[in-house]
Amino acid sequence: MAVPLLDLSRQYAYLKPELDKAVINVLTHGKFILGPEVAELEQQIASYCKTKYAIGVASGTDALLIALHACGVGPGDEVITSNFSFFASAGVISRLGATPVFVDIEPDSYNLDPKLLEQAITKKTKVIMPVHLFGQMADMDPILEIARKHGLKVIEDGAQSIGAEYKSRPCGSLGDLGCFSFFPSKNLGAGGDAGIITTNDEALYDLCRILREHGQKPQYYHRIVGYNSRLDTIQAAMLLVKLPYLRKWSEKRIEHAARYDRELANVPGIVTPRVMPYSTFHIYNQYTLASPKRQRVFEGLRAAGIGTAIYYPVPFHKQECFAYLGHQPDQFAHSTKAGDEVFSIPIYPEMTDAEQTEVITTVKRLVLD
Ligand SMILES: *Cc1c(COP(=O)(O)O)cnc(C)c1O
């Protein structure tokens, strides 16, 4: 039996009447840019993340870019982030003319290691940008404490972790700004690209809103140069339909993860993901295993029709575009090992028991082979 890594058609089949109605409603009222659904979604996301404000933007990448810009990041500045993430976490720093400074991960959480943070800070550091990878939050308390001590802003890259919690505090509410992606494969996915920024800071809120519309305030008056990066009304309408289901979907992912844990944790040659003690709600955007036999298992899964992907094979310090930073390949031992050994398996909420059995049996057969 083939099992896809993700099957969005099942979610659509479940929500079809609601989604169709919401999209047709936008087509009918015609307010495609910053229509009423955008403001409504901003309010609901702010409430979901327990922040005062939210600003809808065109993608998760733009959320990070605008958040960094709002913190004043530009040429000559340094921004610290995890060495092991989706490319956008580092790319946005370079796009603003600033220098990305990479910190290695903890081997068991795959998130930025706070113990290595302070030694990465220089006079040029402006922002610390931890990533909450795979649906689990980074260890925020020590990160926030170090940031406070050095007068630095914190931006949470929560693209994979909407609704996740750190000591019962929601993702996006701990840093100065939180950034989320509604890329279709995230836990809350739109019908295309979309993203949002959360904050409790009124000045940063104002600035992000101005930046997403060419830096204008009022219209046609530009104190700063901004972007064209609004969240489409149609995307907002779809997300408003889906948001009420998000918690339930994440709980379903947690159930699937618990079964994988039970059946795979004791298989030799495989490491199941660790839930850190501070991680009170892990939303499993990915269920990511590690194995020294990764290549063989990965190819075997593909051959058997089981969806799998490697997030991420190349840590930032080994990316060609960052060669100018002068890192050595053998630096960042933990992110390098993760890049060599991790692979993710299906964990979408609609996955059936029979499908999960198939995934488990196949993974076991390939690892024990
Ligand atoms: C998906 C993702 C982004 C970028 O979001 P887009 O909406 O695809 O632009 C940024 N950071 C991380 C960690 C992501 O997973």
In a domain, 185, yes or no: yes
Give 225-272 pLDDT, tens digit per residue.
999 999 999 999 999 999 999 999 999 999 999 999 999 999 999 999
Which of 218, 244, 270 is the C-terminal boundary of a domain?
A: 244
Note whether 119 and 261 are same-domain residues. no
The 8 Å CB, 24+ separation contacts for 264-271 are 264/289, 264/360, 264/363, 264/364, 267/363, 267/364, 267/367, 267/368, 268/367, 268/368, 269/293, 269/367, 269/368, 270/363, 270/367, 271/341
In a domain, 73, yes or no: yes
**Cβ contacts of 172 within 8 Å, gap of 6 or more:** 49, 51, 156, 158, 162, 178, 179, 180, 198
For atom 2 of ligand 1, the residue with the nearest CA is 159
At residue 329 the predicted structure's pLDDT band, cuts being 50, 70 and 90, is confident
| Domain housing 60 | 8-103+110-244
In a domain, 253, yes or no: yes
Note whether 172 and 191 are same-domain residues. yes
Mean pLDDT across 337-350: 98
* Triad 81, 86, 92: Cα angle to 5°: 60
At residue 33 the predicted structure's pLDDT band, cuts being 50, 70 and 90, is very high
Note whether 96 and 186 are same-domain residues. yes
* Triad 180, 285, 79: Cα angle to 5°: 45
In a domain, 12, yes or no: yes
For atom 5 of ligand 1, the residue with the nearest CA is 60
Atom number of ligand 1 nearest to Cα 185: 1
Give 39-74 pLDDT, tens digit per residue.
999 999 999 999 999 999 999 999 999 999 999 999
Give 173-221 pLDDT, tens digit per residue.
999 999 999 999 999 999 999 999 999 999 999 999 999 999 999 999 9
Give the model's pLDDT for residue 369.
83
CA gap 120, 149 in Å, rounded: 14
Note whether 233 and 289 are same-domain residues. no
Mean pLDDT across 99-122: 98
Give 154-173 pLDDT, tens digit per residue.
999 999 999 999 999 999 99
Atom number of ligand 1 nearest to Cα 89: 11
Which of 244, 268, 296 is the C-terminal boundary of a domain?
A: 244
Whether the pLDDT of residue 330 is over 90: the answer is no
Give the model's pLDDT for residue 262.
98
Note whether 219 and 310 are same-domain residues. no
Note whether 44 and 165 are same-domain residues. yes
pLDDT above 70: percentage of residues in the chain? 100
Note whether 171 and 233 are same-domain residues. yes
Note whether 275 and 137 are same-domain residues. no
Which of 223, 244, 265 is the C-terminal boundary of a domain?
A: 244
Best CA proximity match to 284, nearest among 202, 213, 141, 185: 185
pLDDT above 90: percentage of residues in the chain? 99
How many A from CA of 156 to the centre of ligand 1? 12
Atom number of ligand 1 nearest to Cα 195: 7
Note whether 228 and 303 are same-domain residues. no
Whether the CB of 86 sits within 6 Å of ligand 1: yes
In a domain, 1, yes or no: no
In a domain, 17, yes or no: yes
Note whether 273 and 179 are same-domain residues. no
In a domain, 3, yes or no: no
Note whether 234 and 252 are same-domain residues. no
Buried b (16+ CB within 10 A) or exposed e, 141-166: eebbebbeeeebbbbbbbbbbbbbbb
In a domain, 217, yes or no: yes
How many A from CA of 150 to the centre of ligand 1? 27
Q: Can you give the CATH number for the domain in which 289 is found?
A: 3.90.1150.10
Note whether 282 and 230 are same-domain residues. no
Number of domains in the chain: 2
Q: Can you give the CATH number for the domain in which 201 is found?
A: 3.40.640.10
Strand order in the sheet with 165-166: 169-170, 165-166, 279-281
Give the model's pLDDT for residue 208.
98
